[in-house]
Chain A
């Protein structure tokens, strides 16, 4: 029963991702990807990583999707310009070929490696334990990731807000 639900979630996630990567309409792509991220969050929930599932919901389904939608809306030229111009067919086929080759290697590796066959008891990690780990043994990493996020956000603001009128004159 659990495995059937798991397979259904995984297949829905994969189908949403594949459809998002092949559609013409950018908005549809982003909405399908939000569905795919939701499927990944459901998988985390089933695997017993509740905190990670909610982090995935907050960061991907909540924040990244909104940032991507804003980027789509800010970079279109007219009200109807959300369709992506068609890419070259040879490029698409070579990309599919490359990805298929990588997939074949990965599948071969997974099928021919000795994986543990009797799963250990379901690990239970409470949010309190995670907090103690993050502020105890992993506190240096937490500080570093805080600095990385701050610098990235400041850099994003600077990159997106700087407007150089001289650049436009150069082009003319």
Chain B
């Protein structure tokens, strides 16, 4: 892997982040919005690993440990988000974001 690889990885993860952003902003299905957020989280993790691999390291394995914690937080977020989606579906028989306007159950 040559020296320009870090730049390539950063450009790619920017593109992945923006695909996730476009998906999260444009879709009104709440499951798809959650998936867009997951894509953005994945792009951030990709940056951690790219910097860890291609930069001089102050401490060993810093990037890898950061990504492990980030994946754990993303898993918790997905579980709570999908539980919310199911709860909203129970209340309103619909998971469109525009119609989920009430906080009261």
Q: Which residue numbers of A lie inside 8 Å of B, CB to CB?
A: 2-3, 6-7, 10, 13-14, 17-18, 20-22, 26, 29-30, 33, 36-37, 40, 43-44, 47-49, 51-52, 55-56, 59-60, 63-64, 67-68, 70-72, 74-75, 77, 84-85, 87, 91-92, 94-96, 98-100, 102-103, 106-107, 110-111, 115-120, 122-123, 125, 129-130, 133-134, 138, 141, 145, 148-149, 152-153, 155-157, 159-160, 162-164, 167
Q: How far is the CA of A22 from the CA of B35 in the complex (A)?
A: 12
A87 near B27: Cβ-Cβ < 8 Å: yes
When distances are taken between beta carbons in the complex, the residues of chain B under 8 Å from A14 are: 12, 15-16, 19
Q: By DSSP majority rule, is chain B's interface helix, strand, loop, or mixed?
A: helix
Q: By DSSP majority rule, is chain A's interface helix, strand, loop, or mixed?
A: helix
B1 near A2: Cβ-Cβ < 8 Å: yes
B39 near A159: Cβ-Cβ < 8 Å: no
Counting chain B CB atoms within 10 Å of each CB, which of A14, A98, A99, A100 scores highest? A99
Chain B interface residue bracket vs A: 35 or more
Q: CB-nearest residue of chain B relative to A92?
A: B26
Give, as a whole number of angstroms, the nearest-CB distance from B85 to chain A: 6
B27 near A110: Cβ-Cβ < 8 Å: no
Q: How far is the CA of A91 from the CA of B72 in the complex (A)?
A: 32
Q: CB-nearest residue of chain A relative to B36?
A: A21
B22 near A95: Cβ-Cβ < 8 Å: yes
When distances are taken between beta carbons in the complex, the residues of chain A under 8 Å from B72 are: 59, 145, 148-149
A149 near B75: Cβ-Cβ < 8 Å: yes
When distances are taken between beta carbons in the complex, the residues of chain B under 8 Å from A64 are: 38, 74-75, 78
Q: A48-B53, A160-B86 are in contact. Are A71 and B31 (CB under 8 A)?
A: yes
B15 near A133: Cβ-Cβ < 8 Å: no
